[in-house]
Amino acid sequence: MITPQKTRLVSRSISDQLYDVLREQILNGEVGEGEPIRQDGIAAAFEISKIPVREALVRLQQDGLVSLHPKRGFFVTPLTRKEAEDVFHLRLLIEPEATARGAQSATEEDAKKAQACLEELESAVARQDPRRGVYNRLFHLALVEPAAGPTTIHVLTLLNVTADRYVRFHMHMQDIDTRANQEHRELMACWLAGNKREIEKLMRKHIQTTLDDLRGALK
């Protein structure tokens, strides 16, 4: 018998897949900041045409990861201290409260999913998976999802992606992995308990600590 899938299987377009790949590469710093992005080169490297390449780049532009100079091409947006402060400021404004609301209206289902995300994250950290930034985002979002509207999800994704870029670039992962692990466990426990005030405080502290570390790395 055919077993039904939990994950809807949809055909992902080339541009859609490329979007993820390019975003990961930029977040990993594999493309130097300010460096021009040659459409032909990417198309050749992936053995595809320029059309899906352009579409992926346009999406990354809307995310603020690359900028477009007309008739001159796409460039990786430079990392600036100003933007880092900006992003974390917004996260501190939005995410603690959103997480608290998520904790309040989380169902059993939501709790399962959040815990699964945490386990996947810890497993990724344990095996030094370079994609653990992705799992970190997924965990943070899972805590928010139960109560958040689509716009909140979208904005927080945007902010977490950009924050992730700064963290990965300026900090050695091992240094924060253990601390983050500890904090994530605390967050999770508190979130499951549904303690609104406490979870809000913890999340604020979690983000603030990362920002402090980042400031230190930026000297």
Partner DNA sequence: GGGGTGATCATACTATGCAAACTTCACTTC
Partner DNA sequence: GAAGTGAAGTTTGCATAGTATGATCACCCC
- Considering only 21, 30, 49, 185, the residue that binds DNA (CB under 7 A) is 49
Cβ distance to DNA smaller for residue 55 or 83: 55
Cβ distance to DNA smaller for residue 38 or 185: 38
- For 153, the token pair is 């999800």
Q: How far is the CB of 30 from DNA (least distance, A)?
A: 17
- For 54, the token pair is 């352009």
Beta strands 66-69; 36-37: pairing state: unpaired
Are the C-beta atoms of residues 162 and 64 closer than 8 Å to each other? yes
Q: Which residues inside 50-109 make contact with DNA, applying CB under 7 A?
A: 50-52, 54-55, 68, 70-74
Are the C-beta atoms of residues 53 and 42 closer than 8 Å to each other? yes
Contacts of residue 192, defined as CB under 8 A and 6 or more positions apart, other chains included, come to: 103, 111
Contacts of residue 167, defined as CB under 8 A and 6 or more positions apart, other chains included, come to: 133, 176, 210, 214
Binding-site partner at residue 99 among DNA, a copy of itself, none, CB < 5 to 8 Å by type: none
Of 91-99, 122-130, 166-174, 178-186, which segment contacts a copy of itself by CB under 8 A?
Answer: 91-99
Residues near a copy of itself (CB under 8 A): 10-13, 15-16, 51, 54-55, 58-59, 61-64, 70-71, 82-83, 85-87, 89-90, 93-94, 97, 148-152, 154-155, 158-159, 162
